A and B are shown apart, each in its own frame.
Chain A
Amino acid sequence: AQSVTQLDSHVSVSEGTPVLLRCNYSSSYSPSLFWYVQHPNKGLQLLLKYTSAATLVKGINGFEAEFKKSETSFHLTKPSAHMSDAAEYFCVVSRSASKIIFGSGTRLSIRP
């Protein structure tokens, strides 16, 4: 069985400060892990994915995530938040399209 838990439903940071969005997963096999971002009234856009290659994954717009097997975590980070980063972020664990589990989402707010 697999599951994914996003530990924070809402994160608020000031512009220019670091972002940390936390995700823990559970999987009985080696998972593929993804982070997607969804801006209001938009579809999901892929930020980055982990597929058992390098544990530190770099994505678009300065985001990166580190796969830590011992902690079963795949936290998303960005060194410096920008106003345009305000959106909903989803952590995803996948075995296939039909066996894809979405986290409940973390809403990121950016304070000027």
Chain B
Amino acid sequence: KAGVTQTPRYLIKTRGQQVTLSCSPISGHRSVSWYQQTPGQGLQFLFEYFSETQRNKGNFPGRFSGRQFSNSRSEMNVSTLELGDSALYLCASSLVAGDSTDTQYFGPGTRLTVL
């Protein structure tokens, strides 16, 4: 079974631009979560989607948004990019949402660099 895929793998943008990242979950998984990883803050939860609905959102500004499609694929968008948005963005999928025992499977990430 194919794993979680994320595109693109690397992205370079300039301040003020916007960016869209894509995530395709493991087949059959309906929950997709997004995380930001930076050297200073570590791994931080962005948001979680299940059945096209955002279930939970982390403590990030409104410039960060996302959506999920009927096939469970998800996109996240960051508008008005800032230097501090440079990070590795990880997507994870799981079978269900809200279950602490359910394993999240991570994609390889998208490395975003903001110049």
Q: Which chain B residues border A44 with CB–CB below 8 Å?
A: 90, 92, 106
A-facing residues in B35-71 (Cβ within 8 Å): 42-43, 45, 47-48, 55-58
- The number of residue pairs between A and B whose CB atoms lie closer than 8 Å in the complex comes to 64
Let me know if A51 and B106 touch, CB within 8 A. Answer: no
Point out the residue from B42, B108, B111 that lies within 8 Å of A105, measured CB to CB: B42
A46 at the B interface (CB under 8 A) = yes
Let me know if B90 and A96 touch, CB within 8 A. Answer: no
Query: How many chain B residues touch the partner (CB < 8 A)?
Result: 29
Q: Which chain A residues border B6 with CB–CB below 8 Å?
A: 43
Task: Give the size range of A's interface with the partner.
Answer: 20 to 34
Interface SS of B by simple majority: strand
Q: In whole angstroms, what is the CA distance A12 to B47 when docked?
A: 35
A1 at the B interface (CB under 8 A) = no
B104 at the A interface (CB under 8 A) = yes
Residues of A in contact with B (beta carbons under 8 Å apart):
31-32, 34, 36, 41-46, 49, 51, 90, 94-100, 102, 104-105
